[in-house]
Structures are given as C-alpha cells and as structure tokens.
A and B are shown apart, each in its own frame.
Chain A
Amino acid sequence: MAMAQAQGRSTFGWLVGRRGRNGFDLTDWFAYGFLGLGVFLMLGPVIWLLLSSFKTEAALQEFPPTLMPMATQTVMVEGFDVPLPLFRITEGEHEGRVLAQIRRVGLNAQMVDPADPETRITVNIAHREPVRVVAVATENYTTVFTRFNFLLYFWNSTFITVVATILTVLFNSMAAFALAKYDFRGRTSVFILIIATLMIPPTITLVPMFLVVSQMGLVNSHWGVIWPAIATPTGVFLLRQYMLTIPDDLLDAARMDHASEWRVYWKIVLPLSAPALAVLTIFSVMWRWNEFLWPLIVLNRSEVFTLQLALNSFQGELQTAWSNLLAMTVLTLLPITIVFAFLQRYITQGIAQSGVK
C-alpha cells in the first residue's frame, strides 16, 4: 500500500509522504520529528556560519545574537559629515518619533530629527531603541581578497590538493592492482602491513616524518605536504577490494591482445575501477583540503600557507578578526562542497561494490 502510494506521488511527493491515510499518524510525528532534528543538527551550524559571515564585526559581538545579519539604520543629516544612527523613541514626550543620534552624553543622548536638522533634542538613553534593518556586510568578503591575499592561499591549497590527489590515486591504484591481481610470495603480508598502518595514530609518526621532510629540504615547500600524504592505506584497501571484483579473464584477454602489464593496468583496470577511483578522489580532496596539522608543521612562511593555515592566522593571541575569519571559512568550504556534489553519486556505488566479495 505504501509502495503504491509512493509510486503515485509526484517528484517531490516523498517530501511530504506520510503513513497515516487521513492526517498524521503517530509514526509520522516521530519520523518527521527525527528528520527535522537531523536537519537542524546537520544544517544548523552551516546556516549559522553562512549568516554570521555577513554580519559586521559589531553585530558579531552583540549579545544576545540575532539570526539574521542586522545593523542599526543610519541616515545622512544636513550639517553632519558622517551618517547618524536612527533611534525610535519609546517613552517621554517624543514617544513614537524616529530621531538620529548625534552623540551620547552621560545618560542622555543628543538627538536630531532628520526632517528638522536645526533643533536639538535631548532624550534619556533608556527611552530609545535602535532602528534595525537587515544589513549584509559584503565587505567581510571583499577585505578577504584585498587585505588578506585570499587568492594566494587558495592557489596554494588547490595546488596541494590537486597534485596530491592525482598522485594518491595513481600510486594507490598501482599498489592495489599489484595486491589484487598478482600472485606473489608475501602478498598477504604486504597487504596486512599496509592495513596495519591504519592503527598508528598520525601524531606518533609526526616527528619522524618531519625529520625526514626537513632532511630532504622540503620544509616550506608544497611538496613537503604532498609527498608524505600520497600513500594512504585506506585508498589501497578501497581500490584493492574493488579491483578484486574485476574478472581475471579480462586481464588475460588483454594480455592475449598483446597488452603489456602497464597497458593492462592503464587501459583495462583503471577505467573499470572508475567508481572506486571517484570515491578515493573525493576522500583525498577532502583530506588534503581540510588538512591542518601537517601543513602547520611543514609550512612556516605565510606565502606558502594553505587556506586552513591562513584561517588559523586570523586568530591572533589577543584579537580575532571574526568577520573575516567567517567569510573566509565560507569560501574555503565552497570548493569541497562543489566537488562533493559532483562526485557523490559515485560514493555509494564505489563503496558498495568494493565491499562485495
């Protein structure tokens, strides 16, 4: 019955589907409540980040915080050089009027009616509240480009991510091919050894790895971030499991077709592993793009910083430029979101198939 109902619905029917035939069933309440909570938990922080990134520095410091980016409305009044903030008077003889504040003196504010700039009005500060409008502080974003050289960090991050991902996919797939399709002495031991490295926390290998990288003169070089990252046990495991499902006959057929082992790998095994390669690509892009600790150690000069390091540098010891930090965080999230959106359909496919057999 539920199936028949589901089929009868339009494209977005699933969005409002329910079990109860007339009105909401108890299970519907639970299901939608649970889903709503899930949406709030997953999406809430992202939306909060997005809205906050458009708030002015002042609005960010406000307590209690507002959901939307708000700012006090200002107005240009004749005879004043700067825009004056507008206030609505809540008590006293001027109640209900909207006045511009010139300055605050003690507990009183000196105000002026924008329509009548000559007359000064004194109002108790407790008797006025600011006129607030939704104000999008786009300058948060523009300063990221003008003052902080966002494009340089973006390029650094992109270079590391792209190069490391290409090399990861290439090397891991070669290792996986050997482990999946060649029968050699010690194959299982090698495989177990690779998997075993998953159990070593990266913090333990951090110092020895840094020593190696610094001996090779790769400190403050992007290659110092790239080389240690490309051999991933997860990638080898994922690709190997997937390649096991490629029939050996195909490889033998290619060999009979005069293909060298390299051609077998390049023309047969790689194209057929595309779903698993897509999964590894997504993983690798996310790992490299979001990586923080290792670049922090290897890259010390700001011109080689990745975005994550640049974000970190906004957080000073005494002061943090929250508005810029948030804007840059949003910009940093964008590329990875786009990559994920384009490749996500391969994820389930790739993972599901490499799990089989």
Chain B
Amino acid sequence: MAEVRLEGIVKEYGAVRVIHGVDLLIEDGEFCVFVGPSGCGKSTLLRMIAGLEPISGGNLLIGGERVNDQRASERGLAMVFQTYALYPHMTVRQNLAFGLENIRTPKPEIESRVAEAARMLKLEPYLDRRPKALSGGQRQRVAIGRAVVREPRVFLFDEPLSNLDAELRVTMRGEIAALHRRIGNTMIYVTHDQVEAMTMADKIVVLRDGRIEQVGAPIDLYNRPENRFVAGFIGSPQMNFLPCEVVRAGADGAELRDAAGQTYHAAVDGSGLNPGDAVELGIRPEHIEAVASGGHPVQVENVEQLGGESYLYCRTPQGVALTVHMPGQTRLSRDQTAELAFRPEVTHLFRQSDGVAMPRLVLGEAV
C-alpha cells in the first residue's frame, strides 16, 4: 500500500507562501501528473513529497503513515531528476547500485537487481561506462533504472523528459508508461507539457500559483474544465476565447452576443447568469468548422498546411484571434474571408468575473 495523501500542505519561504494548502489523494498504483505553468509550485510540491524540501504546514501521509518529519532517505521513494543527476564519477553499474549499497543490500542481490533493471531498460552494453559516455536517452534510462532497482513505494519524476529532443521524448514517454503498466507502482510525474500529462496520466492535477485548479482524468479535464485556466492549459493548440455578453441565459442554454454584434449559442447550464453579464465563449481549435455560408465571418491571417491537417489563424470582426485546426487540407489562403461554424454542443462558457465554467449540457466531442 503506497497511497499518497496530502492534507492542507503549505510551503512558506519566510513570509512568502508558495503552496496554499493543497489537499490531494493519489491512490496506490496510480499514475498522477502534476501540470502547470512554470512557477506554479508543482516541482516544490514534488520535492516536499520527496522530503527534499521541508513542509511548512499540513500533513503528508504515505501508505497511511505521516512522514512530514522523515528524511528523504527514510521515506522509501525514488526520484528521477530533470538533470538526471547521475553520479559522474561512477559507472552506470555503480550508479544503479549506489542506492542499494546504502541500505546494505547483500551483494548478490544488488547484482541480480542491477542486471534485471539493465535488461529491462536495455542498458546492458553500457554498464561499465561513465554517464559522460552516454547519449541523452541512455542517461535518462539510467536515471529511471536507478529508481527502479530500489523497488520504491512511490516513483517521483521531475520533468524527466524536458532535456530530450522531440523524437526521444515520444519514445521515452512510451517507455515510462510501459514501465508503469509493468511494475504498477504509484508514480507522481511533474511536467509543464500538457501533451505528456494527457498521454500518460491516470489522474492530472492542474496547479496554478500554489493552488490546485482541478483534479481529474485527462479526458475529463479536456471535456469539463472547471475554469478558464484549466480550459486554456489543457489541449493544444490552446482553446479560443471570445469575450461576449449574455443576451439570454437559462438551464437549457445561453444566447450570447459579441461586441461586433455576432450571436452565438452555447449548450450550457446558464442558470446563474443574467442578461448583460460579461462572459467568455470557449471553443477548441479542433471544434471549429469552416462552412460555405451561414457561419461567423473571419479574416484569415495565416495558413499552415501540414498535409494531413491544417491550421488557420484568423481574426474576428471584433479583433479577437482565433485558431482553427482542421483535418486534411484546405483551399483557404491568407487575407481571404472565411465563415466558421461553432456547434453549440462543443462550446464552453466561462464567467468573466471569476473564470468559472458553466456546466455543459452535452459532451459534443465523443462520437
């Protein structure tokens, strides 16, 4: 049992509070990803769980036991660092064995565990090399191997892929996900890359300024962002936001109008809204369709054709930038006028005052 429970976790540096009472339960065997922009406190939170940063307030329980006052070396966790942090003066074999030597594991067992980890991570040919003689991907695997050999209760990953090139990143993403399926330990993974979060996580924790914005399964975060921040953070390219004014709102939907007089319909529960309220209509680039007529007119400012998919960068008469992601190729080109259709069932609606999302009535994404 290695569930990780955070109860009102607070971090203060002097008078500055950087983590504001985080409550979170990460269940045994779960792959949990902390995601957020830089400086949101996700790495600090991870280091607090690891025991590398003292906890200023609240309780941290691992496997039901309060570990606030335990040292990093006593918590039985393993961590993979962004910089890999391989010991440069030791060979790969010594790097892998170091943790086991520290807990006085018998020699034969160290050897067998190192051999197993090396086999699993395809590191066998490099065991007697120094980290300096390895490529980025190999170093990354050694760093993971160093965590694996110790059979820790919880794995912690601190932006482990950010130093790799794009292609390796995709490969390693797959390897870490496969590792999790194979050994089934609890894993906590910090990243600022929402693609990593979406592809690997069982549960995503979106953080901003030391507070949890939303916790949930990746697809739930995509479909039901609770606020404008999460909506903007999850999904790539970013969701489009159109500032509007409420014309009519009720439990069955909302009618909106923007400054240029265009009207929109959103399939959300708008019970809390009153006519005249300032809101933002959210629509993802992949949910906008170009239509021949009857849509909202926009000016096309740039077109990116990737062959299999296309991106349009447009501007509404009101002056708001809109990104459109469409499958296949397009005939539209720069400086043309296009008409775009927003289906009400794929739109989101956020109150401008506090960014809170109105509950969606239907999920238009699933086919």
Most central of A253, A254, A259, A260 by chain B CB within 10 Å: A253
The tally of CB-CB contacts under 8 A between chains A and B is 63
**Whole-angstrom distance between the alpha carbons of A258 and B100 in the complex?**
8
Known contacts being A252-B72, A252-B85, is A257 close to B98, with CB within 8 Å? yes
A97 contacts the other chain (CB 8 A): no
Residue numbers in B under 8 Å from A250 (CB-CB): 85, 87-88
**Whole-angstrom distance between the alpha carbons of A255 and B87 in the complex?**
12
B54 to chain A, nearest CB (A): 11
A42 to chain B, nearest CB (A): 36
**Whole-angstrom distance between the alpha carbons of A249 and B160 in the complex?**
13
B44 to chain A, nearest CB (A): 13
Known contacts being A255-B71, A256-B50, A256-B72, is A263 close to B102, with CB within 8 Å? yes
Contact between A253 and B73, CB atoms less than 8 A apart: no
Which of A70-78, A264-272, A317-325 lies on the face that meets chain B?
A264-272
B222 contacts the other chain (CB 8 A): no
Contact between A259 and B88, CB atoms less than 8 A apart: no
Residue numbers in B under 8 Å from A267 (CB-CB): 98
B60 contacts the other chain (CB 8 A): no
A247 contacts the other chain (CB 8 A): yes
Residue numbers in B under 8 Å from A268 (CB-CB): 87
B221 to chain A, nearest CB (A): 29
Contact between A253 and B102, CB atoms less than 8 A apart: no
B263 contacts the other chain (CB 8 A): no
Known contacts being A255-B72, A259-B73, is A272 close to B81, with CB within 8 Å? no
* Cβ contacts B65-78/A at 8 Å (1 or 0 each): 00000011110011
* Cβ contacts A259-291/B at 8 Å (1 or 0 each): 110010001100110100000000000000000
Contact of B99 (CB < 8 Å), options: A247, A252, A257, A272: A257
Contact between B85 and A258, CB atoms less than 8 A apart: no
Contact of B85 (CB < 8 Å), options: A253, A260, A271, A274: A253
B229 to chain A, nearest CB (A): 30
B79 contacts the other chain (CB 8 A): yes
Contact between B79 and A256, CB atoms less than 8 A apart: yes
Contact between B146 and A257, CB atoms less than 8 A apart: yes
Contact of B102 (CB < 8 Å), options: A247, A257, A271, A274: A257
Knowing that A252-B72, A258-B150 are A-B contacts, what are 18 other residue pairs whose CB atoms are under 8 Å apart, sorted by A's residue number? A250-B88, A252-B85, A253-B86, A253-B87, A254-B98, A255-B52, A255-B71, A255-B72, A256-B72, A256-B78, A256-B79, A257-B150, A258-B74, A259-B98, A260-B73, A260-B102, A272-B88, A274-B89
Q: Which 9 pairs of residues, A with B, have the shortest CB-CB distance? A: A257-B99, A253-B85, A249-B85, A258-B102, A255-B72, A258-B73, A256-B79, A271-B89, A249-B81
Binding site for A on B (CB under 8 A): 47, 50-52, 71-74, 77-79, 81-83, 85-89, 98-99, 102-103, 146, 150
Binding site for B on A (CB under 8 A): 247, 249-250, 252-260, 263, 267-268, 271-272, 274
Sample 30 A-B pairs with CB under 8 A, ordered by A number: A247-B83, A247-B85, A249-B81, A249-B83, A250-B87, A252-B47, A252-B72, A252-B85, A253-B79, A253-B87, A254-B98, A255-B52, A255-B71, A256-B72, A256-B77, A257-B73, A257-B78, A257-B98, A257-B146, A258-B73, A258-B99, A258-B102, A259-B73, A259-B102, A260-B73, A268-B87, A271-B89, A272-B88, A272-B89, A274-B89
